[in-house]
Structure 1
Amino acid sequence: MRVTQMSVPLGIGATAPDFELRDQNNQRVSLSRLRSEGRKVLIVFFPLAFTGTCQGELGFIRDNLPRFANDEVTTVAVSVGPPPTHKVWSAAQGFLFPILSDFWPHGAIASDYGVFNPDRGYADRGTFLIGADGRIVFADVVGPGEARTEELWDKALGGSVGDIATES
């Protein structure tokens, strides 16, 4: 039996690792640039495009976009899938927010945030709200097979301070 070293998700108060990833339109998007606009940044890690739970979660963001993209917050979703896959999926689903590719080095940003699952080869469902100062003000990880709830989205967008929820 192989034992894999799992990283620990970043918690509230930690400095959010900066990144620059390509979105579904192959445009570079960086956390530092998003933060320079003076808004909080909600980072939504998801396992894979074209899967039911992920599609439902990102569909919730799409259907409630004014809550997720406004003068106070901007939202980006991150997956290990490549930009062309994200382009087809986001066009089909009407996702107008950035879907970022953590494709290569494979899962590096998810690893930096402590949500990459090396046994599966993709990120767990991590949700991080980054304040304008670059510190994490909300952090949560939903276990495999679980979907983020509306209550979790409300807490994330409210910037609630609390412990990271992880699957035991």
Structure 2
Amino acid sequence: MTQAATVVDIDAVPAVGDLAPDFELLNQFGEPVKLSELRGRNVVLVFFPFAFSGICTGELCEIRDNLALFEDADAVVLGISVDSKFAQRAYAEKEGYSFDLLADFWPHGAVAGQYGVLDAESGMAKRGTFVIDADGVVRYVVVNPRGQARDFTGYRAALAGLGRS
């Protein structure tokens, strides 16, 4: 499995209008998920610090409880943290997440780095969200400070602006 880096500057957050950096990570079942293979569908990347942490659980449960909103926009939700696939699987099972949780475990935080949301000092991903259209173009970006949950209304607005493929 490779983690193709299309962005070299790990501190640069892809901007609206940029082509989303491609990557391949394992989901909670050990299956490879490659962003470019999801072309033709909208994708919502949800970087979160750690599985089983309070704010992260609240955010991902809100997505779980409103998954129809994403499905109606033909959007695939991918949660990403630096946890291992084993931790991701236990977390998904405990919380009933039916969307993929991807393990950005090794090289540690490489994909979070590509997206400019790796906090290298603490070794965790920041709370970054990237909504990517069916052509692979970033259409919405939000990166929240540590300890601040994302506002779910941001997802609604971003998804409303996407065309269904």
Q: What band does the TM-score fall into relative to the shorter chain? A: 0.7 to 0.9
CA distance in 2, matches of 1:109, 1:159: 26
Aligned to 2:43: 41
Aligned to 1:97: 99
Matched, 1:21 2:17: no
Aligned partner letter, 1:12: V
Residues 159 and 8 of structure 1, relative CA distance in 2, 3 Å threshold = farther
* 2:36 partner SS: helix
* 1:43 partner SS: strand
Matched, 1:11 2:15: yes
- TM-score using structure 2 length: 0.88
Out of 128-137 and 150-159, give the one that drifted further.
150-159
Aligned to 1:166: none
Out of 46-55 and 71-80, give the one that drifted further.
71-80
For this pair of structures, how many residues does the alignment match? 154
The 8 Å contact of residues 42 and 128 in structure 1, kept in 2 or not, is answered as: yes
**Structure 1, residues 43-97: CA drift from partner, whole Å, max 9, x if none?**
0000000100000000001101111234621111100000000111110100010
* 2:91 partner SS: helix
CA distance in 1, matches of 2:10, 2:37: 30
Residue among 83, 91, 101 paired with 1:81: 83
Q: CA deviation at 1:155?
A: 2.5
CA distance in 1, matches of 2:30, 2:100: 10
Matched, 1:134 2:136: yes
CA distance in 1, matches of 2:134, 2:155: 19
Q: Structure 1: which 5+ residue stretches go unaligned?
A: 161-168
Q: Structure 2: which 5+ residue stretches go unaligned?
A: 1-8
**Structure 1, residues 87-124: CA drift from partner, whole Å, max 9, x if none?**
11110100010000000110010110111110110110
> Please, what is the CA RMSD of the aligned residues?
1.7
CA distance in 1, matches of 2:35, 2:72: 16
Share of identical aligned residues, percent?
43
Aligned to 1:62: 64
Aligned to 1:157: 159
The 8 Å contact of residues 43 and 78 in structure 2, kept in 1 or not, is answered as: yes
